[in-house]
Amino acid sequence: MSDKLIDAANAVRARAYAPYSDFQVGAALRSVEGHVHVGCNVENVAYPEGTCAEAGAIAAMIAAGDTRIAEIAVIANASAPVPPCGGCRQKIAEFAAGDVVVTMATTSGATLSMTVAQLLPGRFDAGHMDVAGGAT
């Protein structure tokens, strides 16, 4: 299924809004329900205010009513496969089990696949928010 996701990610990557960096990124994920959701990076002149492709695909998934990621692909116009940034790794981990495969690809055909657990070992999750004796 990752070839279909890479194709979908590449199609949306071409629509990325990246006038400042010219670093276009596309992401496509398949939810456990079998639906494909896509996102692309959207830059902003106030640089930290941009949105990553992975975050856009996750937002599209949630907006469509799906809640869990079964597989995700990310593609960039780079010389080597680019992993999701730290914030996106945490976002992916919020909606994906540790064994979910993340395929990173380039527009020239290189790929690298890793699991969510490999990308984000020791991930922070809701269990870390439990406090002894209840809320503080």
Q: What is the pTM of this model?
A: 0.90
Q: Is residue 132 part of a domain?
A: no
- Could you give phi then psi for residue 57, rounded to 5 degrees? -65, -40
135 has a pLDDT exceeding 60: no
Rounded Cα gap, residues 35 and 48, in angstroms:
30
39 within 8 A of 58, measured Cβ to Cβ = yes
Which CATH number goes with the domain that contains 37?
A: 3.40.140.10
State the pLDDT at residue 47. Answer: 83
Span 74-119, pLDDT tens digits: 999 999 999 999 999 999 999 999 999 999 999 999 999 999 999 9
Considering the domain boundaries, does residue 20 fall inside one? yes
Residue 131 lies in a domain: no
The values of phi and psi at residue 6, to 5°, are -60, -40
- Asked if residue 66 belongs to a domain, the reply is yes
| Domain coverage including residue 74 | 2-124
136 occurs within a structural domain = no
Active site residue ranges:
54
pLDDT at 133 over 60: no
What's the angle, vertex CA 62, arms to CA 51 and CA 121, rounded to 5? 70
The pLDDT assigned to 48 comes to: 83
The total of structural domains in the chain comes to 1
Q: How confident is the prediction for the chain on average, in pLDDT?
A: 93
- 70 falls within a domain: yes
**Enclosing H/E stretch for 70:** strand 69-76
Asked if 29 and 20 count as a contact pair (C-beta separation under 8 A), the reply is no
8 Å CB contact between 116 and 98 = yes
Residue 136 has pLDDT above 90, yes or no: no
In a domain, 85, yes or no: yes
Write out the binding residues for Zn(2+): 52, 85, 88
What pLDDT does residue 132 have?
59
133 domain-assigned: no
Residue 84 DSSP symbol: P
What DSSP element (H or E) covers 64? helix 53-64
Residues in Cβ contact with 134 at an 8 Å cutoff, skipping those fewer than 6 apart:
none
Q: At what angle do helices 86-95 and 53-64 cross, to 10 degrees?
A: 20
Annotation: binding site: 41-47, 52, 85, 88
Residues marked as binding for substrate?
A: 41-47
